[in-house]
């Protein structure tokens, strides 16, 4: 039984190596094994999906895994070479059947890839015919299931108008955070957060008798007014007002929606920018957060509309769910705001923290050279890149200013890879001005200590040199 399992592990890991390398190294070293040649029937010999990168990677994986399993290195090397030969035989047959490269054909895709290496593994391990057949059957089933999951789940858009580029790593995070909803599975995928916040921190705060005071602090959201002087601000935008609201986590604390709505209801601004994290948890359904956000945006009065980005707690389904509201999501997109002949460009980026789907270069490709750019991102983690490309203003949140601060140390945690100097308040980086809001809501535990939630009214002013 142990020998059969070892053979199966070796074959599966050899099979897994080419798609893993394709994901992590693409588009590097994509040279096809057949060199693009055609067979006598005019069809490709193997097709572009069979690359030397995949073959060599599989052989290397087989060699290493063989040693780790306690076999001589040449056992894994030979098994991997024969497995790749079988894989190429399958591709050759599929091209003759006029099936496209990359198509998933049960059994045919896996049969030769598992059968040929057993010619080496069988005699060396004394598997015997019956156990070898069992290993082959399990390999075929497992390899097909893995291929189906990769191609039909991780490399397919989950719904129409999916706003992100499809990447296996991103889709895995989305599955854990958005698609898996039935208890207890979401909590198992996010056990660290559930344990830290729901079990440890909440009980600590209750035990110290400060939990209710922390909740009251969290509901004490303020309206903060700031004036920001910016060089090169187009003259028509001198005095332009922005309502910047981020990290409301609206479904996490009763009474918070009403408090924020009261702060924005009587405020008329030119443009509203929403910085992400509309949901409290980073797993499970987002329906209640979407419902409350729709109620909130109905209270916002912004002449040029409401632009928003997604945060690390947000699901891409929120974009479609909020269609019909005044909210316009920017997912690695740029949009101009015009005043006569002058304009500023709002560059909205996808989450750079957890999903890591930000694509500043793609978003900025839409912006005319020399245009005045305001970058809206969930976190400060790509501020350096934004400063290098010439952004003048960078607005973000995510850190909650630590949410819990200990004077004079400051934030206990910032949950950000950014320098602490960028994790709260106003800052400057090169020629770019940035503001990291403490956010309107709370994350994890619904408490604040030594920090204050905020909605921010920013007035843009054209920088004037003093005489």
Q: Domains (ranges, CATH) in the chain?
A: 2-156 (no CATH), 200-462 (3.60.21.10)
Q: Which two tokens stand for residue 239?
A: 């005095």
pLDDT > 80? residue 460: yes
pLDDT > 80? residue 445: yes
Percent of the chain with pLDDT over 70: 95
pLDDT > 90? residue 26: no
pLDDT > 60? residue 191: no
At residue 183, the pLDDT reads 65
- Report yes or no on whether pTM surpasses 0.85: no
pLDDT digits (tens, 9 = 90+) for 321-351: 999 999 999 999 999 999 999 999 999 999 9
At residue 329, the pLDDT reads 97
At residue 105, the pLDDT reads 83
**305, HSE (Cβ side, Cα atoms, 13 Å):** 14
pLDDT digits (tens, 9 = 90+) for 383-402: 999 999 999 999 999 999 99
130 by DSSP, 3-state: which?
A: helix
At residue 465, the pLDDT reads 58
At residue 408, the pLDDT reads 87
User: What's the CA gap between 438 and 451, in Å, rounded?
Assistant: 8
pLDDT > 90? residue 264: yes
Cβ-based neighbour number of residue 21 at 10 Å: 21
Residue with token string 């559930």: 194
What is the full DSSP assignment across 282-332?
SSS--HHHHHHHHHHHTT-EETT-EEE---TT--THHHHHTBTBSEEE-SS
Alpha helices in 175-316 (DSSP H): 185-189, 191-193, 202-207, 211-219, 256-264, 287-297
pLDDT mean over 372-378: 98
User: What's the CA gap between 406 and 337, in Å, rounded?
Assistant: 41
- Give 187's pLDDT tier (boundaries 50, 70, 90): low
Residue with token string 């020399």: 370
- What Å distances lie between residue 97 and 43, 65, 90, 307, CA to CA? 10, 34, 11, 50
At residue 29, the pLDDT reads 81
Residue 428 contacts residue 408 (beta carbons within 8 Å): no
At residue 102, the pLDDT reads 75
Please report how the helices 128-149 and 2-25 are oriented relative to each other, as an axis angle in degrees rounded to 10.
30
Asked which of 152-166, 185-199, 360-374, 422-436 is least confident by mean pLDDT, the reply is: 185-199
**Per-chain mean pLDDT for the chain:** 90
Instruction: Identify which has the larger pLDDT, 337 or 158.
Output: 337
Percent of the chain with pLDDT over 90: 61
Cβ-based neighbour number of residue 406 at 10 Å: 11
């Amino acid at each position: 039984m142990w020998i059969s399992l070892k053979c199966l592990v070796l074959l599966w890991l050899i099979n897994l190596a080419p798609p893993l390398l394709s994901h992590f190294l693409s588009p590097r070293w994509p040279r096809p094994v057949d060199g693009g040649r055609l067979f006598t029937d005019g069809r490709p010999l193997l097709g572009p999906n069979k690359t030397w990168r995949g073959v060599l990677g599989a052989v290397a994986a087989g060699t290493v895994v063989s040693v780790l399993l306690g076999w001589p290195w040449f056992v894994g090397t030979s098994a991997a070479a024969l497995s790749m030969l079988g894989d190429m035989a399958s591709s050759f047959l599929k091209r003759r059947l006029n099936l496209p490269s990359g198509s998933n054909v049960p059994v045919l895709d896996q049969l030769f890839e598992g059968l040929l290496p057993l010619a080496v593994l069988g005699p060396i391990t004394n598997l015997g015919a019956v156990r070898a057949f069992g290993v082959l059957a399990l390999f075929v089933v497992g390899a097909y299931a893995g291929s189906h999951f990769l191609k039909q789940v991780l490399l397919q858009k989950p719904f129409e108008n999916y706003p992100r580029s499809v990447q296996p790593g991103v889709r895995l995070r989305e599955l854990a955070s958005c698609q898996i909803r039935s208890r207890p599975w979401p909590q198992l995928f996010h056990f660290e957060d559930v344990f830290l916040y729901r079990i440890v921190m909440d009980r600590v705060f209750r035990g110290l008798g400060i939990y209710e005071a922390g909740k009251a602090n969290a509901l004490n959201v303020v309206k903060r007014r700031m004036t920001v002087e910016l060089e090169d601000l187009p003259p028509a935008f001198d005095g332009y007002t922005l309502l910047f609201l981020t990290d409301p986590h609206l479904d996490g604390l009763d009474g918070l929606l009403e408090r924020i709505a009261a702060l924005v209801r009587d405020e008329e601004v030119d443009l509203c920018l929403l910085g992400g994290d509309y949901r409290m948890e980073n797993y499970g359904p987002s329906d209640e957060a979407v419902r409350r956000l729709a109620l909130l945006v109905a209270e916002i009065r912004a002449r040029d509309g409401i632009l928003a980005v997604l945060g690390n707690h947000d699901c891409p389904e929120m974009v479609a769910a909020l269609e019909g509201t005044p909210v316009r999501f920017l997912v690695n997109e740029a949009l101009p705001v015009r005043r006569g002949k002058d304009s500023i460009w709002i560059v909205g980026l996808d989450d750079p923290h957890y999903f890591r789907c930000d694509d500043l270069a793609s978003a900025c490709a839409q912006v005319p050279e020399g245009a005045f750019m305001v970058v809206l991102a969930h976190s400060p983690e790509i501020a350096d890149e934004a400063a290098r490309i010439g952004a003048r203003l960078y607005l973000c949140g995510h850190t909650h200013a630590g949410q819990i601060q200990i004077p004079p140390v400051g934030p206990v945690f910032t949950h950000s890879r950014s320098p602490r100097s960028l994790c709260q308040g106003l800052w400057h980086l090169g020629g770019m001005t940035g503001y990291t809001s403490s956010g309107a809501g709370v994350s994890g535990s619904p408490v604040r200590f030594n920090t204050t939630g905020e909605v921010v009214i920013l007035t843009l002013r054209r920088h004037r040199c003093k005489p």
